[in-house]
Amino acid sequence: MSTVNLADAKAHLSELIGRVAEGDTVRITRRGKPIAQLSSVKKTLQPIDLGALKRITDPMPAQKQSAGDFMREMRDGDRY
């Protein structure tokens, strides 16, 4: 955990946010006493509903060409 005084926190907030995003915790002090703490927000992952995904993708027609061939055709056909 890093400790930063309030004046430095105001001057370097973007840098502190970057450090917090990387997992560091930053404690902000005023006159040597802690007044605030910056920490990252824990992201919650939601499980994928495989049944719903299957219901959406089943009616879709299969591609007639590979993705690589499709991208190559798009790239070669649209020269700028």
pLDDT at 79 over 80: no
Q: Model pTM?
A: 0.53
62: phi then psi, degrees, rounded to nearest 5:
-70, 145
Alpha carbon distance 51, 45 (integer Å): 18
24-34 residue pLDDT tens: 999 999 999 99
User: Model confidence at 9, in pLDDT bands (50, 70, 90)?
Assistant: very high
Among 6, 45, 4, smallest CA distance to 24 is for: 4
Q: All domains of the chain, ordered by start, with CATH?
A: 2-38 (3.40.1620.10)
Q: What is the mean pLDDT of the chain?
A: 92
Query: What DSSP designation does 23 have?
Result: T
pLDDT at 12 over 90: yes
pLDDT mean over 54-75: 92
Percentage above 90 pLDDT, the chain:
74
